[in-house]
Amino acid sequence: MRIATWNVNSITARLPRLLAWLESSGTDVLCLQEAKLAEEQFPYDELRAAGYEAAVNATGRWNGVAVVSRLGLEDVVKGLPGDPGYDGAEEPRAISATCGPVRVWSVYVPNGREVDHPHYAYKLQWFEALKAAVAGDAQGSRPFAVLGDYNVAPTDEDVFDVAAFEGLTHVTPAERAALAALREAGLSDVVPRPLKYDRPYTYWDYRQLAFPKNRGMRIDLVYANEPFTKAVTDAYVDREERKGKGASDHAPVVVDLDV
């Protein structure tokens, strides 16, 4: 089976490309982030016509996640148990479902904005809640993975220039420690192949020709338990999808599994 994660930066803006990519890539299960619409506006009909069901957690213009599957969709759980909330409200940043032999989460980790911003503290708390929520499945015998936009570059090699991130979020020790805690809970980083250049970046800013210059970051991650990682036959970043007019600023990460 082929499973992917992709921050689409608005389902509405991306729908033509999303439908075309699902077909051309042969993806069976897609964890998507930044739907940027309310659940009742989700294009269920268009996806159904293409052969996919969708489980959606989305409330409006910000955030929003979904699992899109043509291999079934069972035991859907919307939201993150123990979500600390931001500014008094829980945000739609997580959804989980079982798709055939695999259980997956689609997550959109809070950005953090700035290191001294309350959103950064929220980000770290959110990671704590995520670790607690997935610890059981991480130790289980069923293939399990948390896929999504983690908004953290795991190592200095995962940004185009570490000096450019001095004092910024996404590279701080505390954020990387949160990833390490997930690994200690039983999940491993399934690092994809880049299809060009030497680093498997997944995000390039829209501004300043970042994509043509390959000034990217690897922040879209697949954290998987041992039964899942043992089944991986290939993983790559589909950078072609970052090209051209109407692209998201993130490229899909695609994982092939022999299950």
Residues binding DNA (CB under 7 A): 7, 9-10, 12-13, 34, 36-37, 60-62, 110-111, 113, 119, 149, 151, 169-170, 203, 205-209, 211-213, 217, 219, 243-247, 249-250
In the complex, minimum distance from the CB of residue 180 to DNA, in angstroms, rounded to a whole number: 19
Shortest reach from residue 104's CB to DNA, in Å: 20
- Residue 95: name the closest of 118, 78, 71 by CA: 78
Can you tell me the distance from the alpha carbon of 91 to that of 220, in angstroms, rounded to the nearest whole number? Answer: 19
Nearer to DNA by Cβ, of 173 and 244: the residue is 244
- CA nearest to 146, candidates 158, 161, 130: 130
Sign of dihedral through CA atoms 50, 228, 33, 153? negative
Return the SS3 of 195. coil
Q: At its nearest, how many Å lie between DNA and the CB of residue 223?
A: 17
Judged by beta carbon, residue 155 or residue 233, the one nearer DNA is 155
Cβ proximity to DNA, 137 vs 158, nearer residue: 158
Name the minimum Å distance from CB 227 to DNA.
Answer: 30
Phi, psi of 176 (to 5 degrees): -70, -30
Contact 4/254 with Cβ under 8 angstroms?
yes
Report residue 89 CA to chain centroid gap: 22
Looking at residue 239, the DSSP 8-state letter turns out to be: G
228 close to 145: Cβ distance less than 8 angstroms = yes
The letter for the amino acid at 111 is N
Closer residue to DNA in complex, CB, 142/213 = 213
d(CA 84, CA 164): 30
Q: State in angstroms the smallest separation of the CB of 148 from DNA.
A: 11
Q: How far is the CB of 60 from DNA (least distance, A)?
A: 6
**Smaller CB separation from DNA, 73 or 152:** 152
- Would you say 117 or 230 has its CB closer to DNA? 117
Contact 106, 32 (CB under 8 A): yes
